[in-house]
Structure 1
């Protein structure tokens, strides 16, 4: 039993409070996609001790599955990539994809009442959310290129969109880094795989279990459970570690134990059931492919072909750095090998044997093992 004397105020802070409490400037922006989703995007224009308030070159940080932009600023300044990049001189932008706690809005649909709001998967995040954020940031900063750093699902939408030859976003991204990279997920080991079914009716199975709308939304109940079960007065290993490891990996040895209640109280941040079904489909097919509508007829209507299109990594030209791990249950090393076999724009890669999925954003050693290398290589392609 682990005893903690008092609640860490970071457990109850929202993202702007997390940023402000550490002494950094912040801005909140609303980015509207072509299909009407309103995304909450947050900016740290410069470091807390900057000699000039003039921002450096922009970098967009994109969170992972069931996460939010808080993940980049949830640790102390010398441990959080969002703060570290700002102090290094970059203009830091923290994105949120449709449906999470900071992007739960639409020009037409109400997320609490309209099923249509939740009719999306990571296809839409790649095709609409990512370019909308990139072009908004370039317009705001009057720059022509951006740096991009993704974690988990943030890498998935990067691989999908940057390799899409039907658009020209590649010329606007000078460099990107993939932390815990995902494309194929056929070998993932997370407990989520047990929510698969041998039936061809995967979509109906999930709808029966979870409905058609929101999956694991941010809620006061879950935040309180995380805060209390992970160390306010006691530590319940079964509850706390299961909350943290539903996606991540086998243990939390690389985390600062005193921060675990903070991590748990800020997640999960929600997504759509359809997005989770898409992940399940990709796990089953072991293909990096678009959403499967379940029949040749429906796919034909949507894609003008009877099967879901396959995304191409090989056609991606953006200089790419990959950081991957040995104990990552979602970005399994076997699946990461698919990326290495297909990528032609790799400029740097680093393997961390004892990291899991969340260590890339939360580990107390991430700055030493990952972030300094990341910044050094990014400066070559996207200098401050």
Structure 2
């Protein structure tokens, strides 16, 4: 059980002492090994060395990975394989018990009634532009589709990009303010 706990039995990529120790030993002390850490991040999320804040990297790695539910990761993989936006697939018997059918139903996006702004980028390996376009077609209240105007912008850049404020955050704040002002009138 100790190995399962160390690796995160119910949590995918947990943030823990092992990951912190590896980050400190491999990613911080030597330039050659820190480049390996950069490449691992880029492999998972898209290549964008210009926006990676090397000064903040030790702090980022001390909290990365932050962990995610293993079930969420499995669900994401199921949706990729099915090429549909589906409820979790529990297997035939449990699906029948939960959903009244052998396969999981698709989500009905028409029930999403809040205004939605979709932000996407060409180099985000976890949000393909075709998938974003499909999602935009299915959601009833899209107020904006915003393509980040930097070709190399990747999935993690939404969190850590050096120019995140200029490329994304200020735009998000403007949208919130527009929506708040519209609600007041």
TM-score bracket, normalised by the shorter chain, equals 0.7 to 0.9
Match of 2:172 in 1: 374
Q: Tell me how far apart the structure 1 counterparts of residues 175 and 31 of structure 2 sit (CA, whole Å).
A: 42
User: What's 1:355 paired with?
Assistant: 153
Q: TM-score, normalised by structure 2?
A: 0.83
Q: Is 211-220 or 353-362 further displaced after alignment? A: 211-220
Contact 1:316 1:344 in 2 (8 A): yes
Q: Which has the higher strand share?
A: 1
- Asked if residue 318 in structure 1 is aligned to residue 114 in structure 2, the reply is yes
Q: Relative to 1, partners in 2 of residues 1:266 and 1:381: Cα closer, same or farther, differing over 3 Å?
A: same
Structure 1: distance between partners of 2:43 and 2:180 = 35
C-alpha displacement of 1:313: 2.3
Please list every run of 5 or more consecutive structure 2 residues that lacks an aligned counterpart in the other structure: none
Distance 1:291 1:379, change over 3 A: same
| CA distance, structure 2, for counterparts of residue 299 and residue 376 of structure 1 | 42
Q: Deviations over 1:113-138 (max 9, x none)?
A: 9x9xxxxxxxxxxxxxxxxxxxxxxx
Distance across 1 between alignment mates of 2:68 and 2:167: 30
**Would the alpha carbon gap of residues 369 and 281 (structure 1) be closer, same or farther in structure 2, given more than 3 Å must change?**
same
Q: Is the 8 A contact 2:27 2:36 kept in 1?
A: no
> Where do 1:129-144 residues align within 5 Å?
none
**Is structure 2 residue 36 aligned with structure 1 residue 231?**
no
2:25 and 2:32 map into 1 onto residues whose CA distance is: 8
Pairing 1:213–2:10 present? yes
Match of 2:39 among 228, 241, 244: 241
Structure 1 contact 289–311 (Cα < 8 Å) conserved: yes
TM-score, normalised with respect to structure 1: 0.42
* Offset, 1:282: 1.0
Aligned to 1:22: none
Corresponding residue for residue 63 of structure 2: 266
* d(CA) in 2 for partners of 1:273, 1:363: 27
- Answer yes or no: is the 8 Å Cα contact 1:227–1:262 preserved in 2: no
Instruction: Say which SS state the counterpart of residue 96 (structure 2) adopts.
Output: helix
Q: CA deviation at 1:240?
A: 4.0
Q: Does residue 222 in structure 1 map to residue 19 in structure 2?
A: yes
* TM-superposed deviation, 1:212: 5.2
Aligned-pair distance for 1:324? 0.6
CA separation of 1:356 and 1:350: change in aligned 2, threshold 3 A? same
* Equivalent residues of 1:248, 1:356 under 8 A apart: yes
Equivalents in 2 of 1:381, 1:360: separation in Å?
21
> What is the aligned length?
176
Measured on the aligned residues, the alpha-carbon RMSD in Å equals 2.5
The corresponding residue for 1:284 is 81
